[in-house]
Chain A
């Protein structure tokens, strides 16, 4: 069965960096696009970034462009999100989600349980 397990969350000061990881299993990781989606406390869902199946295409929400970097290691079945210059409004649960097709399109068909990132001084 498809499993996505996020890690790397925690409390960080504004302006600092953090890297999230998402370990995938139960499917051929290299055949699917992968996303990060976040949810601020008590708020709705916000799409953050996507990488195509081979990492050749990456797209970002305007709110994180230039600060966050999505990447993947298909040999390790792992997705990453490098978050730099963190702001208080980046505080959220970060979910990794599998894309329904290999390319930067489609839907989010499986989700991890999420990793909480708290940005606070």
Chain B
């Protein structure tokens, strides 16, 4: 199972918006309602930020939003804040083989 494709890095200034893409195939992202996004600060465990493509868990800021078009999912962070600087990973469930695949991760830098 190949990893999903994410940009290695993105950056933005405080207050700006950024979008991180996550490209898979018609067997994973394109065929799954279970696409999710995780935030990971250095030395910490991942934290769920978006689930089921575009739902936010309780307690996650509404500055975070998710979407999907075809085989590509996207995470958008609006009103960037310094605390958003972290690594972000997408993930997709693959129903045909019952496994999960992650993207390689994107390092977000807040300038």
Contact = CB atoms under 8 A, between A and B. Distances in A.
Given A107-B48, A108-B38, A111-B46, A44 B99 contact: no
Contacts of B103: 44
A105 B34 contact: yes
Contacts of A105: 34, 93, 95, 98
Interface string B16-37: 0000000000000000001010
Interface residues of B, number: 25
Contact of B1 (A44, A62, A112, A113): A62
Contacts of B64: none
Interface string B62-105: 00000000000000000000000000010101010011111111
Given A45-B91, A62-B1, A100 B51 contact: yes
B51 to A, nearest CB: 4
Nearest to B106: A44
A104 interface: yes
B41 interface: no
Contacts, number: 61
Given A107-B36, A107-B48, A109-B48, A46 B99 contact: no
Contacts of A44: 3, 89, 102-105
Interface residues of A, number: 23
Interface of B: 1, 3, 34, 36, 38, 44-48, 51-52, 57, 89, 91, 93, 95, 98-105
Interface of A: 35, 37, 44-47, 50, 59, 61-62, 95, 100, 104-114
28 contacts: A44-B89, A44-B103, A44-B104, A44-B105, A45-B46, A45-B102, A45-B105, A46-B102, A47-B100, A50-B100, A59-B98, A61-B1, A62-B1, A105-B34, A106-B34, A107-B34, A107-B48, A107-B91, A107-B93, A108-B91, A109-B48, A109-B51, A109-B57, A111-B45, A111-B46, A111-B47, A111-B48, A113-B44
Given A47-B102, A61-B99, A105-B34, 7 more contacts: A44-B3, A44-B104, A106-B93, A107-B51, A109-B51, A111-B47, A114-B45
